[in-house]
Amino acid sequence: MKYLALILITYIALVLQAGLSSRMALGPISPNFLALVVVMAVFTHNGWKALLGAAIAGFLSDCLAPQGLGIGMLCATLVALTMQPRMRHRLGNSAIVLTLLSFLIVLTISLASTTCRMLLAGVAVDAGHQSLIAAGTAAYSALLGLCGLACWRLVKRTLPSISPRNSMQTPDNWNLFTR
């Protein structure tokens, strides 16, 4: 079920990135929805599954970029590879911690992929300017991710209380077989 959710969220992020990201731009700063998929893959999956989710999100990001196919995929996979072992065991579910780590992941992916694309295109890199844009993109994306997390937690708390399974009184005889 987690894989289906990752595929669905990746598709939604691709549609949002292609169609809505430019309309939500604040000057040169626009949200990076596909980098949030990398964040989700790192937080919710282990091992190669997290790397595969990050690689797919990076590849889709490359497909939307003007040049440099493979750069976003490489950056997203490397960030997932370095961050993933540290995520699951040392962190709780604090929204502040998750938002700060989301900021760092999106910042790293945005800055690395933009810098690599500029270097491959032969364009001079203004590190200060690119860092500010990447930090703005990361902050914007992390805040959108925080809003998404808050909505998800609200839905998750609300749905079990209104589901029909809770209103039915069925005996749970299967517990005898699980002990």
- Point out the least confidently predicted range of 27-41, 111-125, 164-178: 164-178
pTM of the entire predicted model: 0.82
Q: With 50 as the cut, is the pLDDT of residue 6 above it?
A: yes
Q: Containing domain of residue 107, as a range? A: 2-148
Asked if the structure places residue 39 within a domain, the reply is yes
Q: With 50 as the cut, is the pLDDT of residue 177 above it?
A: no
> What is the phi-psi region of residue 41: left when phi exceeds 0, alpha when psi lies from -120 to 50, beta otherwise?
alpha
The C-alpha atoms of residue 14 and residue 57 are separated, in whole angstroms, by 8
CB 43 within 8 A of CB 87: yes
Tell me the pLDDT tens digit for each residue of 75-93.
999 999 988 766 655 556 6
pLDDT value at residue 176:
43
Supply φ then ψ for residue 126, to 5 degrees.
Answer: -95, 100
The overall average pLDDT reported for the chain is: 85
pLDDT value at residue 96:
85
The secondary structure of residue 122, as a DSSP letter, is T
CATH number of the structural domain spanning residue 122: 1.10.1760
Count: domains in the chain: 1
- 17, with CB counted inside 10 A (0-12, 13-18, 19+), is buried
Asked if the structure places residue 66 within a domain, the reply is yes
Give the pLDDT mean for 21-45: 92
Asked if the structure places residue 176 within a domain, the reply is no
Asked if the structure places residue 143 within a domain, the reply is yes
Asked if the structure places residue 170 within a domain, the reply is no
Tell me the pLDDT tens digit for each residue of 102-161.
999 999 999 999 999 999 999 999 999 999 999 999 999 999 999 988 888 888 888 766
Asked if the structure places residue 75 within a domain, the reply is yes
Helix or strand run (H / E) with residue 92? none
Asked if the structure places residue 154 within a domain, the reply is no
